[in-house]
Structure 1
Amino acid sequence: MKVSKSFEAFASEAPEYHSIWMKNVQKLDAVSKLDKKTKELAYLAVLAAIRLESGIPFHTKMAKVYGATREEIISAILVGLPAVGNCVVSALPIALSAYDV
């Protein structure tokens, strides 16, 4: 699966930092009590809420791999609507485009 250009640059231009980062991500993943689909859906909600849209296609595809439906993707993106407002809707077409590929 393809990652964002910014994450590609992180990996290629700062490989030591990237390696440390990825080891910590794996450690955090190992202790999570969420199943992989739920974790990816929650991550999509966070990405939408903080407007970090570059990671949305990758994590949408991961959620789909773990069994998330298109409707669950939509719900995950929009779950932050009451808390952060309609800024999350800009993530919707990005996620759905990635899902529909």
Structure 2
Amino acid sequence: MNENPFEILKQEFPEIAASLGELVEAQKSFKGIDNKTKQLLNLAIQTANRNPTGVQLHASMAKMEGASREEVLGAVVLNLHHSGLASVMECLPKAIKGFESHTEEP
């Protein structure tokens, strides 16, 4: 079975996935924040939401946008005083895994 949650959503609920995809594309086109910063913000949000899968995905995407390892891990650890130790400890390994899974230089 496919372990990518968005792929499962696309298979089970194609119309909803398509609408969500349109929303994501609209957010990507927002010009007020550069793409690297958007991905670092997404990392912080996913950490606060205790979503390790999202952290891993956005860590890889942040690296593709030019983020350094220090920036990626910093976006996770920044949550320590906001969302607590459990969120950071749950997500930090996935941030490392996501960053290291993307081997190409931006």
After TM superposition, the score normalised by the length of structure 2 is 0.85
Instruction: Measure the CA separation in 2 of the matches of 1:83 and 1:17.
Output: 32
Alignment match, 1:17:
16
Shift of 1:5: 2.1
1:98 and 1:28 map into 2 onto residues whose CA distance is 22
Specify the alignment match of 2:92 in structure 1.
92
The one-letter code sitting in structure 2 at the alignment partner of 1:50 is N
**Aligned twin of 1:65:** 64
SS at match of 1:55: helix
SS at match of 1:68: coil
Unaligned regions of 5+ residues in structure 2, if any? 102-106
Show the counterpart of 2:34. Answer: 35
Map of 1:49 onto structure 2: 48
Alpha-carbon distance between aligned partners in 2 of 1:17 and 1:67, rounded to the nearest angstrom = 31
For this pair of structures, how many residues does the alignment match? Answer: 99
SS, match of residue 50 in structure 2: coil
In the aligned structure 2, how far is the partner of 1:94 from the partner of 1:28? 24
Q: Which has the higher helix share?
A: 1
1:40 Cα deviation after fit: 0.2
Q: Runs of 4 or more off by more than 2 Å in structure 1?
A: none
Letter matched to residue 89 of structure 2? V
Deviation at 1:34, TM superposition (A): 0.9
Relative to the length of structure 1, the TM-score reads 0.89
CA RMSD of aligned residues (A): 1.6
Instruction: Kindly report which structure 2 residues correspond to 1:64-83, keeping only aligned pairs within 5 A, or say none.
Output: 64-83=63-82
Displacement of 1:29 in angstroms is 2.1
